[in-house]
Amino acid sequence: MLLRSNTRPPIFSVDLAQFQALVVEASNQQPILVDFCADWCSACHTLSPHLERVINELDGAIRLARLEIDGGENMKLAALYRLRAFPTVILFQGGQERGRFSGARSTHQVRDWVLARLGSGEEHRHYGV
């Protein structure tokens, strides 16, 4: 069963200095999607509202961290995770990467991808999607 959190914002920004605590460690309590994006990336702007819809549909069961790769030292994370294209979305759960995709996708494609990695069809019915 997925834990819901009403005390932390479902969508937040993160940077290199916060990544370990706010993403990797926090994913032990709740799954976290990380959107590695860039302001100059048109596909990033296309994907963004679809990610937000899915996060809102799942009503606190999963959080979304946005990481602007061009901000400060954030490109080091892109190198660490060997990102080759933007946007790249990585799902963290239990302190580990559980999956990733690159490029723009529709809301239903993102929802199906997330739910397939989080668990069984029982959870699909629970969230009404």
**Would residue 37 show up in a list of annotated catalytic residues for this protein?**
no
Strands across the sheet containing 63-68: 11-13, 63-68, 32-37, 88-93, 96-102
Catalytic residue among 32, 33, 41, 67: 41
Catalytic residue among 14, 22, 23, 44: 44
* Maximum C-alpha span of the chain: 42
Q: Active-site residues: which are they?
A: 41, 44
